[in-house]
Chains A and B, each alone.
Chain A
Amino acid sequence: MSMKTSTRQVDGVTIVDCSGRITLGEGSVILRDQVRELLSKGQKKILLNLAEVTYIDSSGIGELVSAFTTVRNQGGELKLLNLTKKVHDLLQITKLYTVFDVKEEETAAVKAFK
């Protein structure tokens, strides 16, 4: 299953619902393009909902880091929501879990944006 994204707005926060695989190639490119498009529209409060992400490789992890850095460098915020156990474990062993602002509940996550 390839990567798919859809976006919705909640209280000024853009929630990106991601599904499928964030891997080298198409999956990483789709995520990158999505984040760039939001930033180009001035949407700088981004919540990546990864509940339906079934797989992520090192390129996908790199893409999450890139998205986080890119948004932050433009004065925005990017948070992660609903990690699957696989993604959670990957972020733990790569020591990125504490770098990202990871949330488990959407309403609280939206409120956490400044």
Chain B
Amino acid sequence: MTEHRVSYTLDSTLETVDSAEQTAGRIAVEAGFGEDEVMQISMAVREAAVNAVLHGNAYDPGKKVKLEFETTGGDLVITIRDQGKGLDPAKIPDPLAPENLMKTSGRGIFLIRSFMDEVQIYPSLTGTEIKLVKHVPGAPGGGKEASQ
């Protein structure tokens, strides 16, 4: 797996969400993931971008979304950072709880966690950074545990 890093600074728009999803899919293909994993990665990035644009930056044209892809050591590492107020992971309701099952929102982080091997959320007063890791099957170093 060739190691490289690419980053994008994007506006807080719905176009950013689509662009992030498409870029993630392309990079996942280039990294050697299969069809199902490409779909999972692109959806996880889409959901993270939705959170950044809607809930983080709240469509504020003055705030940007930073998206970074890094392939290293058999892992695809994706970082999405917004400039919002900060998402507290502890306050995210469980969408599988009976009382939440019929809610019309609140499944984004759950889907991200379902599709990626590792998910770390770093909230701060100046924004939220979410780091997504997917191990490339069969790659040298793939499947290793990343540090927290």
> Which A residues form the contact surface with B (CB < 8 A)?
23-25, 57-59, 61-63, 65-66, 69, 86, 90, 93-96, 99
User: What would 9 A/B residue contacts be, using CB atoms closer than 8 Å?
Assistant: A23-B46, A25-B14, A57-B43, A58-B50, A58-B105, A58-B111, A59-B50, A69-B102, A99-B102
Check if B95 is an interface residue, CB within 8 A of chain A: yes
Chain A residues, CB < 8 A from B39: 86
Check if B107 is an interface residue, CB within 8 A of chain A: yes
Chain A residues, CB < 8 A from B103: 62, 65
**Contact call B104/A94, Cβ cutoff below 8 A:** no
Q: List B90-148 residues whose CB lies under 8 Å from chain A.
A: 95-96, 101-105, 107-108, 110-111, 114
Task: Compute how far the CA of A110 lies from the CA of B17 in the bound complex, rounded to whole angstroms.
Answer: 37
**Contact call B107/A24, Cβ cutoff below 8 A:** no
Task: Compute how far the CA of A65 lies from the CA of B104 in the bound complex, rounded to whole angstroms.
Answer: 6
Contacts A57-B47, A59-B50: A99 and B101 contacting too (C-beta < 8 A)? Answer: yes
Chain B nearest Cβ from A114, distance in angstroms? 21
Tell which of B54, B96, B107, B110 touches A62, judged by Cβ atoms closer than 8 Å: B107
Task: Compute how far the CA of A58 lies from the CA of B110 in the bound complex, rounded to whole angstroms.
Answer: 9
Tell which of A59, A65, A86, A94 touches B96, judged by Cβ atoms closer than 8 Å: A94
Point out which of A24, A25, A58, A66 has the most chain B C-beta atoms below 10 A from its C-beta.
A58
**Contact call B114/A24, Cβ cutoff below 8 A:** no
The secondary-structure label for the interface of chain A is: helix
Q: List B1-57 residues whose CB lies under 8 Å from chain A.
A: 14, 17, 39, 43, 46-47, 50, 54
The secondary-structure label for the interface of chain B is: helix
**Contact call B104/A66, Cβ cutoff below 8 A:** yes
Closest A-B pairs by Cβ, 5 of them: A62-B104, A58-B107, A66-B104, A58-B108, A25-B14
Tell which of B14, B47, B101 touches A58, judged by Cβ atoms closer than 8 Å: B47
Chain A residues, CB < 8 A from B110: 94
Q: List B39-81 residues whose CB lies under 8 Å from chain A.
A: 39, 43, 46-47, 50, 54
**Contact call A24/B96, Cβ cutoff below 8 A:** no
**Contact call A24/B50, Cβ cutoff below 8 A:** yes
Chain B residues, CB < 8 A from A24: 14, 17, 50, 54
Chain A residues, CB < 8 A from B104: 62-63, 65-66, 69
